Amino acid sequence: MIVKAMEFNEFDDCKAFMNLLNDREFVFKYKHILESKFEEMFKWFLFEYMGITTRPVLPFTPNKRKIDLLSLYILVAVDGGYREVTTENLWPAIAKDLGFEYEDGDYMRVTYAMYLDIVEYYYKFKIVQGKVQDKEMVFEEGWSSTGCHGNRKVQEKFNGNLQGRHRLHSLLESMIMTGIKLKGGSGLISIM
């Protein structure tokens, strides 16, 4: 299986692996193989890519039970993501689905926020970044000076949006490099 041979040397490798996780049937069929590869990807991302060495990998509950990060990631995604699970107070159900007690729900929320949220955030950021780069290439290679493609107002708006995205990209990268990140889309900023 190709997943066994995957190595993580750059974030695009993580992105390719995480794209596989969108196929829930594939995840169900090969879960055992994917669990260890997900942990390998996560360790590489945290230690090598982000340079975060202060968190123990992999997470355990206070009573020393290992938390399956892949299952936690999939369950939260199926239930609508971190914000939805938090808003609907589904963390106790997530804990129970993972084989823990309902009381461990808050610990699952904290674990997700400390471990998986940063991977998911960066993954989504890279997807958006790729779309922006695709639009830039279309703009640079295919912008016509005539017809509707040459409309100056549309062209100026497009350029302004790209410049704003470039500024946002630079800001986000500097925040990530200095250990500052946005939490759960709430607009709160915390220092890690």
CATH number of the domain encompassing residue 73: 1.10.150
Q: How far apart are CA 185 and CA 82, in angstroms?
A: 10
CA 144 – CA 50 distance, rounded (Å): 41
**End residue of a domain, out of 83, 113, 143:** 113
Domain extent, residue 139, equals: 124-191
Looking at the structure, do residues 54 and 82 belong to the same domain, yes or no? yes
Six-digit token pair at 167? 């500024």
Indicate whether 138 belongs to any domain. yes
Contact of 14 with 44, CB cutoff 8 Å: yes
User: In whole angstroms, how far apart are CA 112 and each of 98, 115, 186?
Assistant: 13, 5, 16
What's residue 172's pLDDT? 53
| Domain assignment of residue 118, yes or no | no
**Is 21 inside a domain boundary?**
yes
The answer to whether residue 109 sits within a structural domain is: yes
Structural domains in the chain (count): 2
pLDDT along the chain (192 residues), means of 10: 79 86 88 89 88 80 87 93 94 96 93 87 77 64 47 46 53 52 42 38
Q: Is residue 119 part of a domain?
A: no
Structural contact between residues 65 and 100, judged by C-beta atoms closer than 8 angstroms? yes
| pLDDT at 173 (0 to 100) | 57
Under 8 Å CB-to-CB from 98, ≥6 apart: which residues? 67, 68, 71, 72, 75, 108
Residue 38: CB partners within 8 Å, gap ≥ 6? 17, 21, 69, 70, 73
Distance between CA atoms of residues 140 and 148, nearest Å: 16
Query: Does residue 107 sit in the same domain as residue 51?
Result: yes
Whether residues 84 and 178 share a domain: the answer is no
Residues 90 and 144 in one domain: no
- Give the global pTM: 0.64
